[in-house]
Structure 1
Amino acid sequence: ANKRIAHYENITPKVEKNKVKVIELYSILGKKEKAEELENTARKEFPRGEMMKEKYISEITNVEDIHKKVYLYDRLQKEYKASELGDKNSYLLTQIANTYVEEGNWDLFLEYSSKIKDPVALASLYNSVAWDQAENDENLAEVKKISAKSLSLLENEKESLNNKPSYTTTKEYRTKISSSYQMYADTYAFILNKLGENQEAIKYAKIAVGEGFNTDINERFVQFLIDDENFKAAQQSSSKFIEENQANEKIKEYFKVSYQENNPSTSAVNLETELRKLESKGETKAFEDLKKEKMNTPAPNFTLKSLDIESLSLSDLKGKTVILDFWANWCAPCKASFPGMKEVVEQYQNNDQVVILFINTFENEPIEERITKSKEFLNSKEYPFRVLLDTPIKDSRDFKVAQLYDIKGIPTKVIIDPKGNIAFKKVGYNSNNEQMIKEIQMMVELSQQ
């Protein structure tokens, strides 16, 4: 990085793009003061350049008052053409439109959202607003229209590909649009159901389900079938989700309701037996799927300090199954998984053969701030977690243990077997705590075989 900085600084004549590269390199090296000093200089040298444009955009983003936000946006429009702003224009218009929704000004929301030229960005805005409004049972007739528009925008873009970025292939772009379409179809179905249009709601909910990977969407689909009193289809769908290990507790309740309606003379014992058969199939499938994912890679050793500044080495835990949960205070999915992880910790608290460690990583604040923030959060939720603090690598944005374990995103859970080998590595969180808990139990069991 330092060699590249010297290279760019020696190039003449001085142009802004080279200064931007130098600033980026100083930022990567963690030299924030130097980067900020160069930013201020660049804005004076190039008053209509990229750095000044980013300053304007930052001001608009950070101001809360909607009138000032609009004033600053109008100023930006006078200084730069829409083509010079690119994706940032859609981003700023989305911010303004969202603020008007929060203030309850529907007309101005529609006015500013209509200025967004990127159909994918506009569809995303329409979908998020439609979902939030529908969750609160507000403006259902209006949000039905914009939710339908979000689907229409994606359909047209998938055919025309007019806004395909140069960095992605046609196949990748269409796949991304299809994935968004499924999600937005779930929103539209949700709104239709609230409006009592159950047949149409079921039609779009079926599209949203796709291969059934999202249990919340699966749950809504079965709920809509029950609302429509289509108990036969509700039983078939809920049975399939349970067998495929794609169900949550609510879907299991819907199975009981639909099964009882279809078999009114069945006993409670028989009903539970039928449910247990399906659950057993789901557990068997999940277990067999996990077997195929099992790894046998030596786990790199590390030594980290806890929130109480006590050191712990992975090598000290050889002979035990170790669960590493990589997380950060800013990571919403990490925190969403913690109620389930609390249950996991409680389940194994009396098992001295299983150790669960939460590795706080990807946090750039000073260590004292990380400790304070983590303790406050964990104490507020009464999470009995054993937290270790990953070490930042000097002159880098990387962290020692995250790099050793090739952690690209969080949350990521790593299961280490008693011999000191990585048995499993699971990335992400699918919002189903019940499924996550069972999966961890199975991974622990398989790691001990």
Structure 2
Amino acid sequence: MKNLRIPAVLAFTALTIFSCSDEPKETPLTIGNLELSETKPSPGDSLKLAYSATDSITEAFYVYTVKSKSYPEDIDLIKDGERFTGALKIPDSADGLIFNFKVGEEYEANDEKGYTVNLYDSEGVIIPGSQVAIAHYISGRGSYYGVKTEPDSTLAAYKKAIADNPASKEDWLMPQIYMMSRLDSEQANVLADETIASYSDKELSEEDYTKLIQLYRFRKDQPKSDSLTGVLSSKYPKSDLALNNYVTAMRQASDMEAKLKVLEDFKENAGVEGPQLDFMYRTIATTYFEEGDTENFELYMDKASDDASKASMLNNLAWNRAEQGEELSIAERMSKKSLDIVDAQKSDKPDYYTQSQFEKSLASTQAMYSDTYGLILFKQGKIKEAIAAQEMAVANRTSPDVYERYVQFLIADEQYGKVFEKASELVEEGNATTKTKEYLATAYTNTDHEEDFDSYLSSLEKIAHDKALAELKKEMLDEEAPTFNLKNLKGEQIALADLKGKTVVLDFWATWCGPCKVSFPGMQKAVTKYADNENVEFLFIDTWESTSGEAREKGVSDFITENDYTFNVLMDTPKEEGSREYDVVSAYEVDGIPTKFVLGPDGKIKFKAVGFDGNTDGLVEELDMMIGLASGQ
């Protein structure tokens, strides 16, 4: 992708002719490909912008910060040659701005620096807290949008904010301590202890108790944390920590009687609406359902007011019944209810989404729930209704298994022409499973074709392969791979440096990671395929586990053994005992798992792949191509 820069003088000539009243206070501000109409914008200002890009912009939004909170808003852009123009009004409460632009399939992040804008007061002085609010947002969310930040610069922002305005300590102290712990755990512990000591002669408020509990948890002092939590719950029974204790108690309750007792205690001592009460209602409802008491299930489910969570639970319960082929009439009612809830949510946008993001999220959720509904209807023999539901599930691009079910339903309805058309398209796009190809074969024999099916299928697969290979060539990297030396489950030390000359596939995973586990049958196929190739090595790096020490190792070993995987599993090392920060996954800057890296014989990273789309055969084929390209074949 080539991004063009427009000189600042020209960038706004086509936007509008400024009148005296809306003339910019400053000369335009240029940041990478973005130009703004003011150098020092203030809260409440109307701001014009121009963004230069040769490719289409698929998403554009800005985020305004208010201390540690952030709120995203869409930007409506108009194409003007090789740039896009738009405008926004800065909210009065804002203290900083961050702009994000997705060009094609990737976020363009100004060479990883991002597009961030401090806000100023009427005297042209940066608003107190503007710099730290932006640093805090970038530290937590920047990597999602291609922005790179260093912990030491974020830590410096926290320190400066507190030094400049001691009153802001309540907002930034805990983020400062947690960030400091990534760089110097001893220094972080000292700061935590000093802060704890500062409360010794103070009459504690609810906020003070909450902060102290956080500090004791950071210091892993569970007895003192538990003791203070008890005091807080007694003095402030409606505090979040006190309410969350009931959630813990509900999770630990072993039977219905115990669960109902927790709910009764909650109503008597706290008696507030909110997520904790909703959770208890849903938990009790689910327990009733598992006991076969559908009347009480529906009674307690209706009491819950968190519609998104309620719909998710209904869908999960319905899907489990659909997979098992049991209680399909009940599953149908639950699935239909989940869809009705989603449909009713269209005017209830949460703060953490822009409007367009919210609409996409709802469409994705509706598609997922429609997939459940379609499968239930299909298993009930309601074929045409199942097809209609599945058409909603595949309305937007979706995973290969969802497409597979759609084609399966069409086959059952003997719509061979439609199956031929859709399945051919899926194969050509590389979105076909083995079963989808089998359905295509059935449709092929039931429609009029002169060419033999194997030749036809091979031609489609070649198109898909060539297209995928061309895309992979564009995505090839040539970056230094961080070195490591880790133990595997046999106790052997595996050093990456010793594998130079081989093509190495690294797979970062954890036992709690659903997509990781779903991808493993495909990874096993790949491992088996290359078992006799001494020039290819697969390493599965376990990381981010919630357990540690022997318990962690036993859990990982048991999982691998129980599933008969022949993986060489390496144990990533925590930065310190009990930490969720791990050395190698951090060195590779992994943001989510599963994430795979393919290293070439020169020891450099050639490919990075995040997530799993559910297509086992596609995963093996993609790894084949990556290994081939990384090996120079």
TM-score (norm: length of structure 1)? 0.91
- Find the aligned partners of 1:344 and 1:125 in 2 and give their Cα distance: 35
Instruction: Give how far 1:211 is off.
Output: 4.0
Which of 262, 267, 270 aligns to 2:447? It is 262
Partner SS, residue 114 of structure 1: helix
Q: 1:321 aligns with which of 493, 499, 503?
A: 503
Distance 1:72 1:255, change over 3 A: same
Deviation per CA, 1:43-100, whole angstroms, max 9, x where unpaired? 45545533332222211112131222122112212222343xx222322222211111
Find out whether 1:405 has 2:405 as its counterpart: no
Q: Could you tell me which residue of structure 2 aligns to residue 21 of structure 1?
A: 211
- Given that residues 431 and 615 in structure 2 are in contact (C-alpha distance below 8 angstroms), is that contact kept between their aligned partners in structure 1? no
Asked if 1:141 corresponds to 2:141, the answer is no
Output the CA distance in 2 between the equivalents of 1:284 and 1:92: 53
- Matched residues in 1 for 2:388 and 2:475: separation? 35
In percent, how many aligned pairs have the same letter? Answer: 35
Query: Residue type of the partner of 1:414?
Result: F
Which SS does the other structure have where 2:589 is aligned?
coil
CA distance in 1, matches of 2:568, 2:221: 32
User: Retained in 1: the 8 A contact 2:477–2:605?
Assistant: yes
Secondary structure, counterpart of 1:350 in structure 2: coil
- 1:418 is paired with a residue of what secondary structure? coil
**Post-superposition shift, 1:438?**
0.9
1:289 lines up with 2:289 in the alignment: no
> What are the superposed Cα offsets for residues 115-163 of structure 1, whole Å, 9 maximum, x if unpaired?
12122222222222222222333333333233222222212211x22xx
SS at match of 2:311: helix
Higher helix share: 1
- Rate the CA distance shift 1:373–1:130 in 2: closer, same or farther, 3 A: closer
Deviates more, 1:117-126 or 1:252-261: 117-126
- Aligned counterparts of 1:38 and 1:240: Cα–Cα separation in 2: 62
Q: Which of the two has higher C-alpha Rg?
A: 2
Q: Which has the higher contact order (CA 8 A, sep 6+)?
A: 1
Counterpart of 2:326, as a letter, is E
Q: CA deviation at 1:426?
A: 1.3
Where 1:424 maps in the other structure, the secondary structure is strand
Paired position in structure 2 for 1:175: 360
Alpha-carbon separation, structure 2, partners of 1:376 and 1:195:
38
1:177-216 deviations in Å (ceiling 9; x for gaps): 1110010111111222223332222122112113443111
Contact conserved, 1:9 with 1:22, CA < 8 A, in 2? no
* Cα distance in 2, alignment partners of residues 207 and 307 from structure 1: 45
Partner of 2:557: 375
Correspondence for 2:536: 354
47-56 or 69-78, larger mean C-alpha shift: 47-56
Aligned partners of 2:246 and 2:276 also within 8 Å: no
Distance 1:392 1:436, change over 3 A: same
Distance 1:45 1:118 in 2: 28
Partners of 1:67 and 1:336 lie apart in 2 by 36
CA distance in 2 between partners of 1:284 and 1:31 (Å): 58
Q: What residue in structure 2 maps to residue 298 of structure 1?
A: 480
Aligned runs of 1:128-207 on 2, under 5 Å?
Answer: 128-158=316-346, 160-161=347-348, 164-207=349-392
Q: Which runs of 5+ in 2 are unaligned?
A: 1-176, 178-188
Which of 242, 246, 251 aligns to 1:61? It is: 251
Q: Structure 1's 74 and 266: CA in aligned 2 closer, same or farther, altered over 3 A?
A: farther
Separation (CA, whole Å) in 2 of partners of 1:120 and 1:51: 23
* Larger displacement relative to structure 2 (61-70 or 6-15): 6-15
Q: Which of the residues 402, 406, 417 maps onto 1:232?
A: 417
For residues 28 and 331 of structure 1, what CA distance do their matches in structure 2 show?
A: 25
Number of residue pairs aligned between Structure 1 and Structure 2: 441
Q: Is residue 422 of structure 1 aligned with residue 610 of structure 2?
A: no
Structure 1: state its 5+ residue gaps: none
Contact 1:56/1:76, CA 8 A, preserved across alignment: yes
Q: 1:320 to 1:336 in 2, by over 3 A?
A: same
Amino acid at match of 1:437: V
Q: Does 1:438 align with 2:621?
A: yes
Q: Match for 2:298 among 107, 110, 117?
A: 110
**What's 1:125 paired with?**
313
CA RMSD of the aligned region, Å? 2.2
- 2:31 aligns with none
The SS at the match of 1:262 is coil
Matched AA of 1:208: A
CA change 1:390–1:37 in 2 (3 A) is: farther
- Equivalent-residue separation in structure 1 for 2:576 and 2:224 (angstroms): 17
- Aligned mates of 2:236, 2:209 — CA distance in 1: 10
Q: For residues 133 and 380 of structure 1, do their structure 2 counterparts lie closer, same or farther at Cα, with a shift above 3 Å needed?
A: closer
SS in structure 1 of the partner of residue 446 of structure 2? helix
- In structure 2, how many angstroms separate the alpha carbons of the residues matched to 1:195 and 1:364? 41
